[in-house]
Amino acid sequence: MKPTLYIKVCGMREAHSLAAVAALQPDFLGFIFYPKSSRYVGQELSAASLENLPSNIKKVGVFVNETSEVIRQRVQEFKLNAVQLHGDETPNQCQELRASDLLVLKAFALGGNFDFDTLLPYVSHCDYFLFDTKGEQPGGNGLVFDWQLLRNYSLPVPYFLAGGLDLTHAETLRNLQLPGLFAVDLNSRFEISPGKKDPARLNQMIQELRQADVRSSMTSFT
């Protein structure tokens, strides 16, 4: 039976590492198109490297304050299925990209005083939210936030949980009961170096997360 908690592995950049991680069958693979990121795709990963990925794996392009024109160019070049917007993108831009038949994930950095009302204008224009830890960088800071901030989440948009997730969190995540929780986002804690993942540790994490049904309110994605 398919577990209800989906898995995204983000920050892919090297072709060999990509092939090894894809063989583990995560539900989503993320590719960062933000030049200031240490995991920036740049010239290191060709579009051809993505052509033979399993069709059931959704390819997500991560962008920070990029124009819709450039985003669409990367979507076409890399045959992406979804875009993750990790900056100050507006609800209008989310709507614009979603109209291009893309899944739209809008990321937000959570801290202790986060105002969930700021999400309301985005509700009608995003397929998913992604909640990360507030830090110096737009993402990939490797820090965990207090997940209990989400215990009263009541919006209809399901979300990805990100921010420093590691093997030590596997059991807790497997039994975590939070409204709207849809997927986990794995990145920096599973790296040998930026952009190069440790397939053995990722495999262990994926197997532990999938060994039992996770009690999430969301059960499928399109």
- pLDDT, one tens digit per residue, over 191-213 is 999 999 999 999 999 999 988 54
Question: Which domain CATH number covers 36?
Answer: 3.20.20.70
Confirm whether 1 is domain-assigned. no
- pLDDT, one tens digit per residue, over 17-65 is 999 999 999 999 999 999 999 999 988 899 999 999 999 999 999 999 9
Specify whether the CB–CB gap between 104 and 83 falls below 8 A: yes
Confirm whether 115 is domain-assigned. yes
From the list 50, 1, 3, 54, the residue with the least C-alpha distance to 219 is: 3
Confirm whether 80 is domain-assigned. yes
Confirm whether 143 is domain-assigned. yes
Of 10, 27, 126, 185, the active-site residue reads 10
| Weakest-pLDDT range from 99-108, 156-165, 213-222 | 213-222
Specify whether the CB–CB gap between 131 and 150 falls below 8 A: yes
Confirm whether 220 is domain-assigned. no
Q: Is pLDDT larger for residue 31 or for residue 141? A: 31
Going by pLDDT thresholds of 50, 70 and 90, the confidence category of residue 125 is very high
Q: For the whole model, what pTM was predicted?
A: 0.90
Radius of gyration of the chain (CA): 16
Confirm whether 109 is domain-assigned. yes
Q: Say how far apart CA 128 and CA 5 lie, in whole Å.
A: 14
Going by pLDDT thresholds of 50, 70 and 90, the confidence category of residue 157 is very high
Confirm whether 86 is domain-assigned. yes
Going by pLDDT thresholds of 50, 70 and 90, the confidence category of residue 142 is low
Q: Say how far apart CA 18 and CA 31 lie, in whole Å.
A: 10
pLDDT over 50 (residue 219): no
Active site residue 10: yes
Confirm whether 221 is domain-assigned. no
From the list 99, 117, 100, the residue with the least C-alpha distance to 108 is: 117
Query: In the 8-state DSSP scheme, what is residue 11?
Result: -
Looking at every residue in the chain, the average pLDDT score rounds to 89
pLDDT over 90 (residue 11): yes
- What is the domain count for the chain? 1
The proportion of the chain whose per-residue pLDDT surpasses 90, expressed as a percent, equals 76
What is the residue range of 192's domain? 6-210
Of 27, 126, 132, 185, the active-site residue reads 132
Residue identified by tokens 């989310």 is: 94
Q: What is the pLDDT of residue 2?
A: 47
Q: Say how far apart CA 173 and CA 164 lie, in whole Å.
A: 13
